[in-house]
Structure 1
Amino acid sequence: MHNVTFKWRLAQFLLISGLICGLIPAANSATISVFATPAPGAKDFYKSAMKETDLNKKIELLLSAVKEAPDYIDALRELGLAYGKIANYTESEKYLLAAYSTNAQEQNKQQKILLLYELSQVYQELNRLIEGEESLRGALGLALESDDIWKLNMALAKNLVKQEKFNDAMLAANNANDSPGVKRVETVVLIKSIEQQINLRAIYTEATKAQKAENFSKAKELFDSILQTAGSKYKDVGERLSQVNAEISSNQNTQILENVYNKAVALEENGKNKAALRLYKNINFEGGYKDSAIRFENLAAQIDKIEQETELNRLYSQGIAAAEESNWFEAWVAFEEIIGKNPQFKDVPLRLAEAKLQVNKNQSESLLARFYAEGLAAQSRGELIKARTFFLKICKIDPNYEDAQILLEDLESKISEKKLTNSRDARISNPELEKLYLSVEKEISLKNWKRAIVLLEKIQIIEKGFLQSDTLLTYCKRQLFGYGDDSKANLESDSDLFLSSVILSIILVPLLGFLAVSPALRVRFLLAKKKYVAAAQIYEKILIKHPNRINIFPKLAHIYLLAGRKDDQAIKIYKMIMHLNLSAEYHSQISSILTQNYISETNTADADGIHLLEAALADEFKKKNKDDDQADGFTGE
């Protein structure tokens, strides 16, 4: 078919050229000669063109020559070659065909062979390999010389290699090698190259079949051999090898996922749900496999349900046990936590209501209240050791109960310090303190709490605890900040009336708990659940409304310490504790926090900073001495 195409193009060109040049005569006309000598002007243009080195000018001269003599074979051929040199292969083909058609009429075989060869080179540049092949085969049909046969067979073999007609290419190369009197190394190299191409094609065909059959290991091996021999640019070997490697990697990953999936399923079937859940999670992280995502969700929900049920049953058992032991507060905490997780769990709502009721009842008759009343009574009678015993019991059971901790500190201070047993002797022994103390009594009678505090502070500096001035100082501070009854009866130290009012309040407050839970009880409840933020907020709200309630400071500081707070709000409360000398049991811990805060905020020394550092060093010194005493066998008793 391609041979017919080439011949049709040639016949068409001859027809057009004949009509233009008058070479095809009418019927019964005399034959016109086509061997006319080119006109002198055409020869001059041709000679000038052959001397010209500028291809564009050369082409202009040759066009002028052809215009003067359209059948000028040499000019037509040179014009075709010149256009080929500037890569205008369409024009090159046009003029080489014109030269060939003229030559065909003149029957000059050698020129015909040459023109067909040159046309084949143009077709190769135009990637019209079949037409190039036809041109070369036509030239071989005319060639008689060994060199021509060798040259044409070599060109034909290379053309056929590009068309991947390797068997025909091998035949043409062997014909070139068999040319009489012609033995060249180039021919042997070409034959070996064709043999290699034939081998590569066979390997490539086998590799593509293996890839299609999903035998990726074999396909990889074959494509790798092609890659090593011909490189990645041989056909689509590079792309196919990437595809094969991806499939192999995917298969390996799939196998791994399959193994892990099977292991997870086996663990799930054996009841090892948590281990199975971890494996499903790993599989899903890699993109999932089979129904791993659904299995993960179902198993996670199942585990959550079991754990929740287990936790609820644990809390329920804990609440029941506490209730059986009449530990209603612990029962309340347990049942309350269950309600937060599942309000309809068993009979928890009823049990929670019963626990609350029992807590309120017990609160009205609590041991703490009785101890507190007994402690106050003993203190009012001057039985300090007995009062300390009651407050020690209270603090052991509940350190946050009312102001028991503060009262205990006062008692410890009174007992531990050496005081003058006789107020008369004390007054006589130090007239200056006598005068200051009288001034304090006067200021108290006038309710001038600030002035009384200043005077009492002076007394503490001169002689700490003089005539129980430390207790009186605490009392004045509480009156200044709005805590306590500042009635005339209190100012006159009517201890019996004061004690009665305290005991009455202790009895009445728990009874009112039936109607509303007190802040202290709510704080205790929240602390039991370790909800420090909520517990602190109760006291913070009280301080907002009553900023002078100094009894709140130690309780709030205690919560802050439990929560480990060191923010500005906590630092403010800590400083207030230290400044008012409240809650001595927290001083060491608070002093350490304030010291660290001071060091982190500033590098300059001021009075407060020095005081804090000294306090911290003193605490460390006390701890060291205590450790040394224990190491030496001393207990301090």
Structure 2
Amino acid sequence: MIRHFFTLSLVSLFVLLCGSLSFAQTTNRQAQEWFEKSQKEKDLDKKLEALHKAVEADPQFVHALYYLGLTYKSRRDFVRAEQYLNQAKEASATLREDDHIFPIYLELAKVQIRTGNAASAEKLLQESVRMNVDKELVSKAYFELGRLLFNQSRYPEALDVLRAGQQMSAAQREFFTNLIVLADRSLRLDKLYVQATGQLKAGNAREAKNLFEQINLENPEFKDVDAKIAQVDSVLRVELTQSTLTELYSQAARYEQDGDYALAIANYESILQKSANFKDVQFKLNAARNKMREQQSAKILTATYQEGMSAFNRREWTRAIAAFERVADLDANYLDTHQRLAEARRQVEPDTLESVLFRYYKFGLESMENDDFDEALRAFRRVKKLKPDYRNVSSLISVLEQASLGAANSQTPEMNADSGMPFSEAHLDSLYTEALILMDHKDWLQAIVHLEKLRLIKQDYRDVNNLLFEARTNLTENDLDDVAVSTKEGEPGIALIAGSVIAIVMLPLLGFVVFSPMARARMYLLRGNYTAAALIYENALAQNPGKLKLYPKLAHLYLLSGRNDETAIKVFKTVLKLNLETDERNEMNSIVRNYLQAGKPEGDAISALESALRSEQSKE
């Protein structure tokens, strides 16, 4: 719109100016002839050639210099246009009539605006509006000056100039009116812009965004309003992150105060994942871990001592000695452990050696049966110390010691590397807390991500389903767009969910294992405890899905257990699809076929698992 009326006004101006150029005719006949020839030429190159000839014949020929400038301007060669219009201005210094000077000043100013010499152009236009010429011509200078000031965002000055020029030209009134409307609106938006920028500098990002969005609604191209909105959004994201981290930090401190160090550690670790340098969180995390170790040691001491006292009171001297010895290993001065241990040993001394050996041997076997392999090893070593060749005690010690060597590297994923304790509940509570904080800040998108993770781990955890419904209800269309963009840009989407499903299906919480996993699995298999053996293989596969040789073994255990549930079907299908070596292919084929014919639903986890397996297989 604005370009359209600018173009019309310039056409009108050119007609007026051409009609006024009856000035400064040359006295050089040759120059005049070349000039007249140039006016008849339609070809611009020939026109320029004739005008140059005229100027060569008379270097002060104002008319020829002026037309040289206009012709170069029409060819958009603004540098040369400025050169010849400047020469025309200098040559017109002896002219007295403003009518002769005005067109040169006006055209030179317009060309200088094009070449970036705005200061000189403004000065020429200021001189032009003061010249004593026809009002219609002067109105053109007012218009150009108003437009120059408008483009420089000097809206108050532009409005004064445009309103003055509007009074001088009835024919051009509409053009002035249109530009005045634009300048008036831009002045109002500029005030909002200044106010918004001030709010941003003052740290009021939310207020600044509201003002920038008002500007953007009226004129999306106003200054750098898009960039400002992006800048404010970035500030708001940082503020939200800081607020979330501060809340997690405060909550961790409350957990510590209540003695719940596992949850405190979970919060501190969550903070570190988002901001490694937030406050003194690393120091707090280390301190919480130390306190939890102390707390756990105290609990172990108390529980073991109570176990010893219980056995002592029942006169089960062997069990009492074992318990009190464990307490003494941790803290030799704990309560009356030393006296109780001595008393229990005195009670055993009257027994015959064979009685003592049998009692410890039996205690060791019972400990193995209860999966307390550490206690079993203690008992068998005591037997061996008293009588090295007693029964099969040497073989049992050898098996247990070999198994213990593998235990150091067999910690399950749910264990914390520093403390050796499970953090499943702490992790759930941390996710739940972060989701609540995000919902308080109306960050529905991130809240949904946290709640979905939480539901994948434990579907009925607290009121997660109600919170998820609330967050989805409040999710705006823009948030949904962000989800799409994030997924396209490589943010965790389907891969995260598929990986979580695999972890949930294939990774039961097994707790801390002291025995080597594969050795335990073989022991359970020999005992006929197929379920316990299968759990160990499931755990191993969850840690390393690419360990293909474990799938047939797990499938074998499922067949022995008579399992045909969805988890078993997924393992059977993996063995069949990857053509892994097994003697039980027909049995698996039959079970899978019956399962599919029954119309039972399949999950998406098997697809993700197969993809991971193929990737591992290709590496091999």
TM-score (norm 2): 0.53
The match for 1:38 is 28
The match for 2:82 among 93, 104, 123 is 93
Q: Say if 2:293 is the partner of 1:304.
A: yes
1:204 Cα deviation (Å)? 1.7
| Residue 222 of structure 1: aligned partner | 211
**What per-residue deviation string (whole Å, max 9, x for no partner) do you get for residues 272-301 of structure 1?**
444444444444444275444433322221
Aligned twin of 1:162 = 151
**Partner residue in 2 for 1:248:** 236
CA–CA distance in structure 1, aligned partners of residues 368 and 161 of structure 2: 111
2:384, 2:161 → 1: CA distance? 119
Unaligned runs of 5+ in 2: 1-23, 370-381, 407-520, 535-555, 564-571, 588-620
Alpha-carbon contact 1:160-1:166 (below 8 Å) kept:
yes
Shift in Å, 1:228: 1.3
| Partner AA of 1:514 in structure 2 | L
Q: Cα–Cα, structure 1 residues 298 and 181, in superposed 2: closer, same or farther, change >3 Å?
A: closer
Q: Is the 1:360–1:511 Cα contact (8 Å) retained in structure 2?
A: no
**Deviation, structure 1 residue 79:** 1.6
Describe the shift of the 1:213–1:559 C-alpha distance in structure 2 as closer, same or farther (beyond 3 A): closer
Task: Give the Cα–Cα distance (whole angstroms) in 2 for the partners of residues 512 and 261 of structure 1.
Answer: 53
* 1:307 Cα deviation after fit: 0.9
- Partner of 1:192: helix, strand, or coil? helix
How many Å apart are 1:174 and its aligned residue?
1.3
CA distance in 1: counterparts of 2:219 and 2:383, whole angstroms: 100
- The offset of 1:338, in angstroms, is 5.5
CA shift, 1:202, in A, is 1.7
Distance 1:49 1:313, change over 3 A: same
Q: Is 1:269 matched up with 2:139?
A: no
Name the counterpart of 1:236: 224
**Deviation at 1:116?**
0.8
Map of 1:514 onto structure 2: 386
SS of alignment partner, residue 179 of structure 1 = coil
Task: Work out the CA distance in 2 between the residues paired with 1:155 and 1:38.
Answer: 35
Secondary structure of the residue aligned to 1:37 is coil
Aligned pairs for 1:423-502 (under 5 A) are none
Whole-Å Cα distance in 1 between the matches of residues 287 and 200 of structure 2? Answer: 40
2-structure distance, mates of 1:212, 1:92: 45
Distance 1:118 1:595, change over 3 A: closer
8 Å CA contact retained: 1:283, 1:292: yes
The CA deviation at 1:187 is 1.4
The gaps in structure 1 that reach 5 residues or longer are: 1-33, 370-393, 402-509, 537-555, 568-588, 610-637
Instruction: Tell me the amino acid that sits aligned with residue 533 of structure 1.
Output: A
Structure-2 separation of matches of 1:604 and 1:195:
82
Q: Distance in 1 between matches of 2:117 and 2:57?
A: 32
Q: CA deviation at 1:50?
A: 4.1
Alignment of 1:274-353 (within 5 A): 274-287=262-275, 289-319=278-308, 321-322=310-311, 327=316, 329-331=318-320, 334=323, 351=341
Amino acid at match of 1:166: Y
Q: Give matches, 1:133-152, under 5 Å.
A: 133-152=122-141
Say whether the 8 Å CA contact 2:200–2:232 is kept in structure 1: yes
Task: Give 1:404-419 correspondences, 5 Å limit.
Answer: none
The worse-fitting range, judged by mean Cα deviation, of 342-351 and 217-226 is 342-351
Work out whether 1:124 is the aligned partner of 2:113: yes
Does the 8 A contact of 1:523 with 1:535 survive in 2?
no
CA distance in 2, matches of 1:250, 1:604: 56
Deviations 1:363-418 (A, max 9, x none): 5247979xxxxxxxxxxxxxxxxxxxxxxxx9xx98999xxxxxxxxxxxxxxxxx
One-letter amino acid of the structure 1 residue matched with residue 217 of structure 2: Q
Match of 1:200 among 189, 203, 206: 189
Q: CA deviation at 1:193?
A: 1.4
**2:474 corresponds to:** none
Equivalent AA in structure 2 for residue 177 of structure 1 = Q
Of 50-59 and 130-139, deviating more is 50-59
2:95–2:101 contact (8 Å) kept in structure 1: no
Aligned partners of 1:535 and 1:559 also within 8 Å: no
Match of 2:526 in 1: 561
Task: Decide whether aligned partners of structure 1 residues 357 and 112 sit closer, same or farther in structure 2, where only a CA change above 3 A counts.
Answer: farther
**C-alpha deviation, 1:252, in angstroms:** 3.8
User: Deviation of residue 74 (structure 1)?
Assistant: 2.6
Deviation at 1:205, TM superposition (A): 1.9
Contact persistence 1:66–1:72 (CA under 8 A): yes
> What amino acid maps onto 1:134 in structure 2?
K
Q: Is the 8 A contact 2:268 2:285 kept in 1?
A: yes
Compared with structure 1, are the counterparts of its residues 99 and 560 closer, same or farther at alpha carbon in structure 2 (3 Å cutoff)?
same
Contact 2:25 2:61 in 1 (8 A): no
With normalisation by structure 1, the TM-score equals 0.51
For residues 350 and 289 of structure 2, what CA distance do their matches in structure 1 show?
42
Q: Check 1:591–1:246 CA distance in 2 against 1; reply closer, same or farther (3 A cut).
A: closer
User: What CA distance in whole angstroms lies between the structure 2 residues aligned with 1:178 and 1:120?
Assistant: 22
Deviations 1:4-28 (A, max 9, x none): xxxxxxxxxxxxxxxxxxxxxxxxx
Point out the more displaced range, 244-253 or 356-365: 356-365
Distance in 2 between residues matched to 1:259 and 1:241, nearest whole Å? 27
Cα distance per residue 1:577-606 (max 9 Å; x no partner): xxxxxxxxxxxx99986999999723699x
Q: Distance in 1 between matches of 2:355 and 2:70?
A: 125
Residue type of the alignment partner of 1:302: K
Larger radius of gyration: 1
Distance 2:326 2:297 in 1: 12
CA distance in 2, matches of 1:557, 1:117: 99
More relative contact order, 1 or 2 (CA 8 Å, 6+ apart): 2
Identify if the C-alpha distance between structure 1 residues 313 and 43 changes in structure 2 by more than 3 Å, giving closer, same or farther: same
CA distance 1:321–1:145, shift in 2 (3 Å)? same
Shift in Å, 1:137: 2.1
Q: Aligned residue for 1:547?
A: none
In 2, are the aligned partners of 1:338 and 1:348 still within 8 Å (CA)? Answer: no
Q: Name the CA shift for 1:119/1:318 in 2 (closer, same or farther; >3 Å).
A: same
3-state DSSP class of the match of 2:386? coil
2-side partners of 1:267 and 1:566: how far apart?
37
1:173 is aligned to 162
Identity between Structure 1 and Structure 2 (%): 19
Could you say what secondary structure the match of 1:142 adopts?
coil
Whole-angstrom distance in 1 between the partners of 2:353 and 2:258: 52
- Deviation, 1:306, is 1.2
1:49-128 → structure 2 map (5 Å cutoff): 49-52=38-41, 55-128=44-117
The alignment of Structure 1 onto Structure 2 pairs a total of residues equal to 397
Please name the residue that 1:364 is paired with: 354
The DSSP-based 3-state class of the residue aligned with 1:144 is: coil
CA deviation after TM superposition for structure 1 residue 126, in Å: 1.5
| Contact 1:526–1:534, Cα closer than 8 Å, also in 2 | no
The structural deviation recorded for 1:271 is: 3.9
In 2, the alpha carbon distance for the partners of 1:272 and 1:187 equals 74
- Report the Cα offset of residue 117 of structure 1: 0.8
1:240 partner letter: K
The whole-number CA distance in structure 2 between the counterparts of 1:284 and 1:400 is: 41
